[in-house]
Amino acid sequence: MNRIDIADIERQARQMRADEMRRLSGIMAERTGLYFRLLGRTLTSLAKLLNETLRPLFSWNPQRLHHR
């Protein structure tokens, strides 16, 4: 019968846990990066929309009507 090396099993378990934590950390970092890129693009689109909507309100000059 083979001898059970508890210390080796514990070491392997700790290594497997550390590997899994690194894998999950990488996935979370990737998803967080994607989330912030999407958020940035959304905010950029919103800023462009506000610019297009508000620009005519602030560029109107009533004095142009009187100089004709």
18 within domain boundaries: yes
Query: What per-residue confidence (pLDDT) applies to 36?
Result: 98
51 within domain boundaries: yes
Range of the domain at 56: 6-60
68 within domain boundaries: no
Query: What per-residue confidence (pLDDT) applies to 34?
Result: 98
1 within domain boundaries: no
Query: In 1-68, which residue ranges form alpha helices assigned H by DSSP?
Result: 6-59, 63-66
Residue 64 tokens, joined: 């142009």
42 within domain boundaries: yes
Number of domains in the chain: 1
50 within domain boundaries: yes
46 within domain boundaries: yes
Supply the pTM of this predicted model.
Answer: 0.61
Query: What per-residue confidence (pLDDT) applies to 1?
Result: 67
Query: What per-residue confidence (pLDDT) applies to 2?
Result: 80
Query: What per-residue confidence (pLDDT) applies to 64?
Result: 66
**Blockwise average pLDDT, block size 10, the chain, 68 residues:** 89 98 98 98 97 86 66
Query: What per-residue confidence (pLDDT) applies to 43?
Result: 97
